[in-house]
Amino acid sequence: MTSTSVRAEFPDPVRTPPAPPDRSRLRSFTLPMSFLAPAAILLGVWLLYPAVATVVRAFFDDRGEKFVWFENFDRMFSDPVIHTAIKNNVIWILVAPVAVTSLGLLFAVLIERIAWASALKIVLFMPLAISLFAVGVIWRIMYRDDPSQGALNAGLKVAHDSFSQEGVLPAARPSSDALTDRFVFTRQLSPGDTALMGLTAISESAVPAGAVQAADPESKSGAITGVVWRDFSPGGGEPGVVESGELGIPGVTVNLLRGSDTVQSATTENNGSFEFTGVSGSGYQTQIASKTFAQPYKGVNWLGESLITPSIIIAFLWTSVGFAMVVIGAGLSAIPRDVLEAARTDGGSEFQIFRRVTIPLLMPVLTVVFVTQMIGVLKIFDLIYAIAPGSVQNDATTLAFEMWKRSFSGQNKFGFGAAIAAFLMLLFLPYLIYQVRSQRKNA
Amino acid sequence: MRSRHWGLLFALALALSVIAAGCGGDDEEGGGATTGAAAAENISGSLSTVAVWTGAEAKAFQQVLDGFKDKYPNVTVKYKGAKDPGQVISTAVQGGNPPDVAALNSPGLMNDFVDQGALKPLEFARGVVAKNYNPDWVKNGVVNGKLYGFFFKGANKSTVWYNTHAFEDAGVEPPKTWEDLLSVGDTLKNSGVPAYSFGASDGWTLTDLFENLYVRQAGPAKYDQLATHKIPWTDQSVKNTLTEMTKVFKDPDNIAGGIQGSLQTNFPDSVTAVFQTQNPKAAMIFEGDFVPGVVAGQTQAKPETDYNVFTFPSVAGKGADYVVGGGDIVVMFKDSAAAKALIRYLASPEAGEIWARQGGFSSPNKNVDVSVYPDEITRTTAGALAKAATFRFDLSDLQPSEFGGDAMFTDLQDFMKNQNVDATAAQLEKDAAAAYK
Amino acid sequence: MATAEVTQPALRTRSMGSLRHRIANAPVNFFLAFIGILWLLPAAGLFITSLLPPAVSNAEGWWNVFKKPSELTFDNYSQMFDNEQITHALLVTAQVTIGATVLPVLFAALAGYALAWIDFPGADLVFVTIVGLMVVPIQMALIPMFTIYNKTNLYDTVLGLILFHTAFALPLGIFLLRNFFIGIPRDLMEAARIDGASEWRLFFKVVLPLGLPAIAALAIFQVLFVWNDFLVGFVLAQDNTPIAPTLAGQLRQFGSNLDVIAPASFFSAVIPLTVFALFQRYFVQGLLAGSVK
């Protein structure tokens, strides 16, 4: 049987006690003390004392003068913003570590197969070298709502537009009551009638090229004629009337309806005019085809209140997956070859081997990665600070963020902040116990 | 083995020397030691100052400080700019290390500091201040009968900036009444460009609109009552103004980026949206006389050719010449002869004129000669600011900072989304009551 | 538990050259290439943004630059180097990083060695406590240390930042190093002791050099972490903030920030990236050696 754990260079240490020292008792006390002293002082002053002091501080008021029992905790738990913060913390814990570890595992496994693994590792790891604040700024830019500014929505728009086209005049509205909201000319038409279909909310530059002065349609027997034009003159003009200077809109599809059937279709000329010939009877209506107004794809509202937390989590994944992948990859490569060979000769598909042999062997590494992520996720501050716009800060907040906000953003509510910190520490306790336990087991 | 030993020592030595170098020069020097008479040469010391001005503004203020140095050559003044001076100074005060002199961007913050006992009164400068500022301005620096601050830099917020080309294309003129403005907004939309741009992610852009409408609709007296929370936010006058605001919000197609986009746009980007050369996204922006500074920094638009300004219109015929404005209020944390000299200097028209010449600055000091402003537009807005018959300070800046700097923003941002007048008024009142407790 | 075998890191052989494997590789290559591009995109965007004047980078997306490459400019970078606040911040960051790397390595090595090889009562308890301390978040220390720093004039000093980071690096550092040191073969230690070496000499001449992989890992980790720190510098410093909080402080009230933040972020990422690229082998090795048994 081969060893079943991952290690580096030294053999598995079997710790036998050193020979009893033949030194004076004093020496055997001062020696370890002198080695431990610097660390002990730093740890005592910077970690142990503050941890206790913060908990104590939580029982005093914001100015630190009055002892107020549990009032700070009461304030904390009755604050709806804190509720959101706790909810977000839960989401982070449930989603982020799993995502990071599984993606890390996936990439680590796949990356073994390619020749340029080293280069890709640097690419994937690089985000860790960038300050989390800068990472936040990068992603903030990418999440911009407008597809002409935000990279993500731009990409989505390109994908979306390959399936459906935005209309020629997406923002246009009827210029008067002559058209309904669905761009149907309200008056029923018979041959010889004209339909004036005016549109506004179109900028001059949005009018398709080649447009000329709109033509006032003339009545023609046996036909229904009309015009689609940009019904706007400086100052507003007179809606519903074709005025000098108003351009027709070419290339628009107009449907001739009877009842609910489209009987004919026509396309407007450069002066916006259209004509349906060979028409008899009555009860016709004209409509500008809806595809003219197909709204441009607006992208996804990444920074809106519903998606802000997932968006920040995505940015976090960008930084952490590289780390997970590198660590898991090293763990993978340390699995002795013979184990896998043995499993292969025993018969079994790659996938079975992966599931039954590789993963269990990797468990220690996976656990380390997973637990580190869980701890790290609870502390995140810079990403939220940099990515969330002011309007959604209360939707993106977490306990760590709220702790900073109440204490150091100018509010100076140190009692409240300490209470949040103390509560946060409580959330860390499970990991603390886990660490201690696993250490005891290994010792 | 020996080499490794040396290597370690060397590394240690290097590290220690680097640390030592770092520790050497970063002690901040506090208030000045002064002796002697008031002769300028006898006043010496070192002062630290903090304000919100960074980048180009910091450079301009440095020139103002240079002017001070000319007069008092033995005083050195260090300046630090911070985006949120309240936060920085609060923390410093907490730590027992406040700056000597600072310019706060809201009187509400000044009130907080007076409550904490952190500020020194400026009674010695009463004369200078009274001589140079209109009573409406002076009174905003007075707390409990004592003068604690005065305004060095002001901002006229009763201005509306517009893209001249968009207006031409739509064939509209700058409106004089609010009702006209709404109809101009519709015409602009019909011409193919949305009318309004909001940097709603910076909530103060919304509070500014509220304040301009409120002072005109409800009148200056009610404004003062609301500002001191003598009437609740559920008062009908508040609801009327909120209703007025819905007239702007109800058509998201007429706002650059729609409601959703606006809530993610910060103020500087909302300015760019109006004045960018290619495809401006809106025609107008309601904001103060600091807009040209942003335009100059981020777009290529030129004054009068590409952009211009009109004063915030009257509502129901009232308040055409009311000015709502803001300003940076100079306060003193540590007393010393040097600090007092700096205070007197900043309150004089001379200090303001130095910056005024650079542009991007309005002085509320009525004795500043408007001809030193670099262009016509600034002369008008700055003149209106300093000489307005009825001036009211930005209401959100007068509130305790946890309301006026935080909750009020969130409430109006939510209002922009849901446009529910009653719910918003109730929430505003709840948050205000909590802050005033 | 495991047997006392000498296991060498398994040789990573490339997948065997069977045709089947090669074909199966193609989709993997494509997929990973796609992932690689996806991963580079945000940083590439930042880089290009740092080369665009603010009027352009605010108005439209950076990918439009490919249509008009003439707009690229190094102005943002040269302005950054003129910006005293930024250059000062970079210097502070360097000082804090060096200090907060050397000190933890030294102190953790000392403590780790003591816990591994010096038998004294309570050693186990001490170690378990330290392991527990690994979990304590910075948030627990901020409020009290803020008050203490102000009283002891450590506020806004490089030394204050160094000490804070050093303290917080110790739990993990001691954990790693102690676990690594325990693996030193007994005979080596015995031999050196018999030679009459004092504990100090033993430490500096035998233990430290042997511990180099774990030390390297710890050092690299500290460099990455401290260089990019935001919260500690944000709270405990004012004029002497390291680079990340300084960037946050550059956000202007009435101006956009991209022309300052983009080049500074990019530039400040160069150091940690270089460190990682050069030493990545040690990094993973050391981490694994220490943490997984």
The pLDDT of residue A9: 42
Query: Residue B269 falls within a domain, yes or no?
Result: yes
Shared domain for A312 and A254, answered yes or no, is: no
Angle at CA of residue A326, ends A363 and C184, nearest 5°? 70
A39 closest CB neighbour out of C4, C25, C107 = C107
Spell out the residues 6+ positions from residue B319 whose beta carbon is closer than 8 angstroms to its own: B215, B216, B217, B219, B390
Shared domain for C153 and C42, answered yes or no, is: no
CATH number of the domain residue C176 falls in: 1.10.3720.10
Shared domain for A186 and A131, answered yes or no, is: no
User: Judged by CB atoms within 8 Å, which residues 47-66 of B form the interface with C?
Assistant: 52, 54-56
User: What value does the mean pLDDT of chain C take?
Assistant: 79
Q: Touching check for B257 and chain A: CB below 8 Å?
A: yes
Spell out the residues 6+ positions from residue B273 whose beta carbon is closer than 8 angstroms to its own: B197, B256, B257, B265, B280, B281, B282
The pLDDT of residue B24: 41
Query: Residue B9 falls within a domain, yes or no?
Result: no
Q: Note down the domain range covering C30.
A: 22-73
Spell out the residues 6+ positions from residue B251 whose beta carbon is closer than 8 angstroms to its own: B189
What is the Cα C157 distance to its own chain's centre?
21
User: What value does the mean pLDDT of chain A take?
Assistant: 83
Shared domain for A255 and A308, answered yes or no, is: no
Number of domains in chain A: 2
The pLDDT of residue C3: 37
Is residue A136 within 8 Å of residue C265, measured between CB atoms? Answer: no
Shared domain for C133 and C217, answered yes or no, is: yes
Q: Across the interface, do B19 and C205 touch by the CB < 8 Å criterion?
A: no
Is residue A388 within 8 Å of residue A394, measured between CB atoms? Answer: no
Q: Which residue has the tokens 């598995």?
A: A12
Distance set, CA B404 to CA A344, B51, B412, B413, C125 (Å):
69, 19, 11, 13, 52
In chain B, which stretches have pLDDT less than 70?
Answer: 1-39, 55, 83
Q: CA B82 to CA B57: how far, in whole Å? A: 11
Shared domain for B410 and B261, answered yes or no, is: yes
Half-sphere exposure of B244 (CA within 13 A, CB side): 24
Q: Touching check for A390 and chain B: CB below 8 Å?
A: yes
What does the pLDDT average to over A205-218? 86
Distance set, CA B356 to CA B68, B307, B363, B385, C73 (Å):
16, 20, 7, 13, 31
Looking at beta carbons, which residues of chain A come within 8 Å of B189?
200-201
Shortest Cα distance, chain C CAs vs residue B411, angstroms: 21
A46 closest CB neighbour out of C167, C230, C234 = C167
Strand B101-104 relative to strand B45-51, pairing? parallel
Shared domain for A181 and A283, answered yes or no, is: yes
Hey, what are B220's tokens?
A: 């200056």
Which segment of A276-290, A315-329, C46-60, C87-101 scores lowest on mean pLDDT? C46-60
Strand B323-332 relative to strand B391-393, pairing? parallel
The pLDDT of residue B207: 94
Q: Touching check for A392 and chain B: CB below 8 Å?
A: yes
Query: Residue C14 falls within a domain, yes or no?
Result: no
The pLDDT of residue A333: 80
Shared domain for C245 and C109, answered yes or no, is: yes
CATH number of the domain residue B268 falls in: 3.40.190.10
pLDDT digits (tens, 9 = 90+) for A400-425: 999 988 888 767 788 898 999 989 88
CATH number of the domain residue A217 falls in: 2.60.40
DSSP one-letter code for A179 = B
Shortest CA distance to B403 belongs to which of B392, B415, B412, B391?
A: B412
Shared domain for A103 and A136, answered yes or no, is: yes
Shared domain for B211 and B354, answered yes or no, is: no
The pLDDT of residue B338: 92
Shared domain for C129 and C30, answered yes or no, is: no
Shared domain for C259 and C131, answered yes or no, is: yes
Highest mean pLDDT (candidates A215-219, B2-6, C288-292): A215-219
pLDDT digits (tens, 9 = 90+) for B185-203: 999 998 889 999 999 988 8
Query: Residue A364 falls within a domain, yes or no?
Result: yes
Q: Touching check for C192 and chain A: CB below 8 Å?
A: no
Query: Residue C16 falls within a domain, yes or no?
Result: no
> In terms of pLDDT, which residue wins out, A363 or B401?
A363
Shared domain for B425 and B276, answered yes or no, is: yes
Is residue A358 within 8 Å of residue C220, measured between CB atoms? Answer: no
Shared domain for B208 and B121, answered yes or no, is: no
What does the pLDDT average to over C126-148? 86
Shared domain for A400 and A313, answered yes or no, is: yes
Query: Residue C11 falls within a domain, yes or no?
Result: no
Q: Touching check for B169 and chain A: CB below 8 Å?
A: yes
Percent of the residues in chain C that have a pLDDT greater than 70, as a whole number? 84
Query: Residue A354 falls within a domain, yes or no?
Result: yes
> In terms of pLDDT, which residue wins out, A121 or A92?
A92
- E strand or H helix at B151, and its extent? strand B150-156
Q: Which residue has the tokens 């006392």?
A: C4
Show the DSSP H helices in B160-290 as ranges: 164-170, 178-190, 204-218, 220-227, 236-249, 258-264, 267-275
Shared domain for C116 and C210, answered yes or no, is: yes
Query: Residue A19 falls within a domain, yes or no?
Result: no
Shared domain for C89 and C169, answered yes or no, is: yes
* Bridge partners for A213 per DSSP: A247
Spell out the residues 6+ positions from residue B77 whose beta carbon is closer than 8 angstroms to its own: B46, B47, B48, B49, B65, B68, B69, B342
Q: Across the interface, do C25 and A51 touch by the CB < 8 Å criterion?
A: no
Is residue B93 within 8 Å of residue B116, measured between CB atoms? Answer: yes
CA max distance for chain B: 91
Res. C287 pLDDT band, cuts 50 70 90: low
Query: Residue B8 falls within a domain, yes or no?
Result: no
What does the pLDDT average to over A14-21? 51
Closest CA in chain C for residue A325: C284
The pLDDT of residue B238: 95
The pLDDT of residue C259: 76
Centre a 10 Å sphere on the Cβ of residue A30 and count the other Cβ atoms it contains.
12
Number of domains in chain C: 2
What does the pLDDT average to over A62-86? 87
Shared domain for C199 and C271, answered yes or no, is: yes
Query: Residue A251 falls within a domain, yes or no?
Result: yes
Q: Across the interface, do A391 and B192 touch by the CB < 8 Å criterion?
A: no
Return the number of CB contacts < 8 Å for A and B. 90
Q: Which residue, of C54, C73, C92, is where some domain finishes?
A: C73
> In terms of pLDDT, which residue wins out, C166 or C235?
C166
Shared domain for A313 and A286, answered yes or no, is: no
The pLDDT of residue A337: 79
Hey, which chains touch A, using 3+ CB pairs under 8 Å?
B, C
What is the Cα A23 distance to its own chain's centre?
63
Q: Note down the domain range covering A342.
A: 80-146+302-407
Q: Note down the domain range covering B103.
A: 41-156+325-392
The pLDDT of residue B224: 92
- Written as one string, the DSSP assignment of C207-258 is IHHHTHHHHHHHHHHHHHHHHT--HHHHHH-SSS--HHHHHHHT--SSS--H
Phi, psi of A258 (to 5 degrees): -135, 115
* Bridge partners for A189 per DSSP: A284
Shared domain for C66 and C93, answered yes or no, is: no
Q: Touching check for A232 and chain B: CB below 8 Å?
A: yes
Shortest Cα distance, chain B CAs vs residue C87, angstroms: 14
Number of domains in chain B: 2
